[in-house]
Structure 1
């Protein structure tokens, strides 16, 4: 029997010219230490230009308390005083056909007693990275939670992932082989008692990718290509229409920045504010995105090992990076039961990206160190949790639908050699991942906005363990569109600058206000 698909029913920025265009020496970004942080007097509301108006929903969703259900799902509870509410809305699976089948889109809202009742919501999207509500929980627990004193945050899930619908178009064996980058793990233990040759992994992964493509095309026809970041932008507009507001404030986190930028490209006059937090390389082909991720994630792991050594309870030892590499290599050789090297990297990077405190980072270090000594219980539990967050079938489907540009199977061994020299821990995994979508039709790169009525706010984290974000990849697109974004750099460690930085939350709060931000175009928040 074939698997089946079930479907449910312009801000004018008051900013300085970039340093390269200014006279005199480049003094670097302005450091922000708290408050508004720009070192300049705020404009008075009576004389300041007004940005596009943001409004609270006129016709809100039917929110119900779901704190326990969300907590049970993710094993994480929102802090006391924070309400977590769930609702859903519908969106046509094909936006230009209003009579098309409807998708159900899940949404989760976070707010506190201090959140103004008439404050416009900030819409959070994470694309295919992880459930948006999991990222929302991270925000409510992190230093960026102060944003909730100004605005509610509404997490909107990626199309195809709602709680009442399932995309189940791949066999479990194919999806497991894809998730493990060529090592089959279902049913039963991983079928890798010893190290697999690179050619074997590529062959297994290519066959499973091709089989999954055929199965999903057969099962989902004619909707197999309708689960993309570009079409997810239409879901945000469906929410806007449902709310009865003219414009949205959108926060695109990680791969969710692709959704946010697609929204700005398709509906430029419906963007009230646009925030890109640790964004992926919008418009880049699959190979370039993988290369960027390999470099960025390796950098984040190196930073983690270095900083963990400064935490009293960290157990990674004097050469933490070597300990991480040791566990990854043991898994690649089949020396860790039921865990692949790809599993290990997914677990470590997810736990590190969502860690809020030093205690969280120390707990991760303990799991890694124990696994290196042969005690894999904690790491196995972490693998089970994080694989479910990062590699569900709907996520795999959307990533393959989003892929642009092909990489020949004969090119992958060379890329493995090249990338592993540069990034010893992440290079092999990144290059193998290029084979996951073998057999899928590649899409055209998403169209970038040609202009912005709202100057984007870019939160540029330099140590993102999830995507290895490099916000500089967006600069060419901004230049072509004739915009100068406001940029906030942060050299902390984690997925989402906003979730981890109260300084960034202050900037975001001001950006969402009625008047444009004053002060420098380039800023920096302390880690």
Structure 2
């Protein structure tokens, strides 16, 4: 027996040595464990980084840009009274185009507008819809408190490819007109295929004309343009306001250049937690509620020219126009143009009387008012060429969603039933990207836990950045503070005195608004 015991011990010894050697062969990834008496002590996880404090305004700009007076031109474009003491200056920023194709190279010329007597730059970035950043900055200058204009030099930025920033114009006019005017209630495969034919032709022409630059128009590179602007302005931090899609430019900027983030405000923001399909469906739902707010406002000024039930009046107008387009200046006005003009008109309540007038004329057989409202998208205006091309290209470069024809047909049918006024046109926005190359660089969601406080403004009835999605954006920021305006339209700054006051105090004095502030309509 003793000999057996020794033999077992001899066999076990190499195994023990191998086990010890394996455990001591390299550093362990497990946390160190300490013992105090018989009690095991495991160190706690390190605390998460805290949000940074509100950044100081910092030094005045050491501006290297060349500015020229553009007051007369800007005043004419605003079509609104401009105080004589208010002047506007314009400039251009030369930035690296940096397309995904390394052989592309080249530069982008970004159009800028400044207003205000302050010495600290405050940058304004808009989305893809409606006014560009330069026009938005000029219009806000008429509505912001004097202390904002005396503290800041407000600088509006036209995103690359939009406005006067070398706007993209590449789609054949016939295809552009077909896409914008397409039947908003099309829900059969043969109908969707006709739309896809126009989309295919427009996409191929733009890819050929733009060559390697086609995918250089996106949110990722728009954020790079802001960093180059900050450097040219000679300031350590970028103070900025983003509206709608411009808010995604600012959150992308904060992810890429966290050390350069100053005081930032988001006036309506897309939900970063949703994919393109769910985000677009959310917009369709909110566009319906915004139209109801528009109809209620019309009824308050009784009698409403659109009748006792504006929704029914519009529904009947669209249905009639599907088979018999309205006469218009130059070409007939289609049902698709009527719905799209209405959708874009809902964005600004100050222009709702104009929308009522255009729809009233259409109900009486005259499409002239609708044609005037849709012209910036189809043929352009004094601000630049047709807006459809650049919006379609930038949107497709920002999303990876590519729908096959059968799925497109199913979505169009479902949304037309669920969102009867606007479901079809939102479904068609998704179809426009079906044949575009997949993006090279996705738009990042906010993730930096050390960013400073950011006021995020949600508008109850916003057809393009629904309040639900904006609040979701605020919850994902390190220190997002939600302000909810119970009004209507795209964006609240300059429209709500309560919102504008909270934003002004934050920007000028660094006073962070109370969490979950609610501003009445």
Aligned twin of 1:280: 270
The structural deviation recorded for 1:373 is: 1.9
Aligned twin of 2:178: 177
Bigger relative CO (Cα 8 Å, ≥ 6 apart):
1
1:105 to 99, 106, 110: 110
2:344 to 339, 342, 350: 350
Cα distance, 1:477–1:493 mapped onto 2, change above 3 Å: closer
1:181–1:433 CA contact under 8 A, matched in 2: no
Matched, 1:123 2:127: no
Matched, 1:311 2:301: yes
Q: Which has the higher helix share?
A: 2
The structural deviation recorded for 1:71 is: 4.1
Single out whichever of 96-105 and 430-439 deviates more from structure 2: 96-105
The structural deviation recorded for 1:157 is: 0.5
1:105–1:156 CA contact under 8 A, matched in 2: yes
Aligned twin of 1:457: 455
Q: For 2:493, what is the secondary structure of its paired residue?
A: helix
Single out whichever of 81-90 and 251-260 deviates more from structure 2: 81-90
The structural deviation recorded for 1:60 is: 5.0
CA distance in 2, matches of 1:210, 1:283: 30
Runs of 4+ in 1 over 6 A off after TM superposition: 11-14, 95-99, 143-146
Single out whichever of 445-454 and 490-499 deviates more from structure 2: 445-454
The structural deviation recorded for 1:348 is: 2.2
CA distance in 1, matches of 2:438, 2:470: 22
2:95–2:225 CA contact under 8 A, matched in 1: yes
Matched, 1:365 2:356: yes
The structural deviation recorded for 1:247 is: 0.9
Task: Name stretches of at least 5 consecutive residues in structure 2 with no aligned partner.
Answer: 1-48
2:122–2:238 CA contact under 8 A, matched in 1: yes
Cα distance, 1:50–1:427 mapped onto 2, change above 3 Å: closer
2:73 to 69, 72, 94: 69
Matched, 1:289 2:279: yes
TM-score normalised per structure 2: 0.80
CA distance in 2, matches of 1:402, 1:52: 32
Aligned twin of 1:403: 399
CA distance in 2, matches of 1:77, 1:438: 44
Cα distance, 1:464–1:60 mapped onto 2, change above 3 Å: farther
Q: Which has the larger radius of gyration?
A: 2
Aligned twin of 1:494: 489
CA distance in 1, matches of 2:409, 2:145: 42
Equivalent runs, 1:160-199 vs 2, <5 Å: 160-161=161-162, 163=164, 165-181=166-182, 198-199=188-189
Aligned twin of 1:420: 416
The structural deviation recorded for 1:248 is: 0.8
Task: Name stretches of at least 5 consecutive residues in structure 1 with no aligned partner.
Answer: 1-10, 15-48, 184-194
Cα distance, 1:362–1:449 mapped onto 2, change above 3 Å: closer
2:94–2:110 CA contact under 8 A, matched in 1: yes
Q: For 2:215, what is the secondary structure of its paired residue?
A: coil
Q: 1:237-264: CA deviations, max 9, x gaps? A: 1100000111111211111111111111
1:461–1:496 CA contact under 8 A, matched in 2: yes
The structural deviation recorded for 1:525 is: 1.3
Matched, 1:155 2:156: yes
Cα distance, 1:122–1:326 mapped onto 2, change above 3 Å: farther
CA distance in 2, matches of 1:201, 1:351: 27
The structural deviation recorded for 1:95 is: 8.2
The structural deviation recorded for 1:507 is: 1.0
The structural deviation recorded for 1:515 is: 3.6
